[in-house]
Amino acid sequence: MDKIGEQELLQELKHLQATNASLLIAIPLIHFMGYGFLTLTFLNLIYILIPLNLFDPFWRLDVLKGFIDQIPIALIGAVCIFYGGSLYRSQREKIILQVLHNLVLGYGIVFLLLIPLGIIDTSKIYQANSQKNQFVAQEKIIAIQANKEKILTTKTTADLANLLETFLAPTKIAANTSEKFQLEPLRNQVLDIFENQEQQIKQQMELANKNRFAYLVKNSLKFNLGSLTTAILFLNIWRCNKWVKNRIHNS
């Protein structure tokens, strides 16, 4: 029984040694993949940033979205690079690791700072969209009011019918002109149509603003929570790899 137990123990030890050997062989490949992932992330970030338009809140929000989309690749790259500790590291690579270690810290801090910027930009974009919708609606309302003034200046049913050919659909014109309406009832009916159109424009503007606000809030929550999660992950990667500085100073 003792010999059988010793043989099983030796087999387990050999299995562990083989596993460790295969892992050690894979470490340089994992490091290489990590550098490749970070290189791809760097190239994508340059593509996202160019052309620069720092004072445009729409551009800044698009950049934040692009940064968030690149997070998985950057995280995988950072984990792969720091995997394995100081094993298979040349002196030159140790210097590179120290630079990357500081960049990870900076990356986490930057994403923390992007959270208030994202909130401010969301507010600016909502205000810009609201002003645009209000401007378009106001132009339509001004045109309707101008038409209403023209309607009020008509003195005969024939003059009113001529204006209706320009303002309203032919079916409505036929309904109003096929019979001999008096001027005031017909004028009031037309003014009611314009009043309804004006109310519809205001309602459409309010609905568009509400929908846009809901969309921007949803995106803002997504981007800001993504920024916070990214900052926490990168700061933890930085904290868990303080061995980089210690090993370099000791070497």
Task: Work out the pLDDT band at 35, boundaries 50, 70, 90.
Answer: very high
Mean pLDDT of 108-113: 92
pLDDT at 176: 47
Look at residues 58, 74, 110 and name the one whose alpha carbon lies nearest to residue 227: 110
Q: Among 15-24, 91-100, 148-157, where is mean pLDDT lowest?
A: 15-24
pLDDT averaged over every residue in the chain: 81
Higher pLDDT, 182 or 60: 60
Higher pLDDT, 169 or 96: 96
pLDDT at 34 over 90: yes
pLDDT at 175: 45
pLDDT at 14: 58
Higher pLDDT, 244 or 40: 40
Does this model's pTM top 0.85? no
pLDDT at 180: 45
Domain range annotation of the chain: 2-250
pLDDT at 12 over 70: no
Mean pLDDT of 111-134: 91
Task: Work out the pLDDT band at 204, boundaries 50, 70, 90.
Answer: very high
Q: What is the 3-state secondary structure (H, E, C) of 17-81?
A: HHHHHHHHHHHHHHHHHHHHHHHHHHHHHHHHHCCCCCCCHHHHHHHHHHHHHCHHHHHHHHHHH
pLDDT at 155: 72
Task: Work out the pLDDT band at 173, boundaries 50, 70, 90.
Answer: very low
**Residue for token digits 């909130």?**
119
Q: Among 15-19, 119-123, 144-148, where is mean pLDDT lowest?
A: 15-19
Task: Work out the pLDDT band at 127, boundaries 50, 70, 90.
Answer: very high
pLDDT at 76: 92
Task: Work out the pLDDT band at 18, boundaries 50, 70, 90.
Answer: low
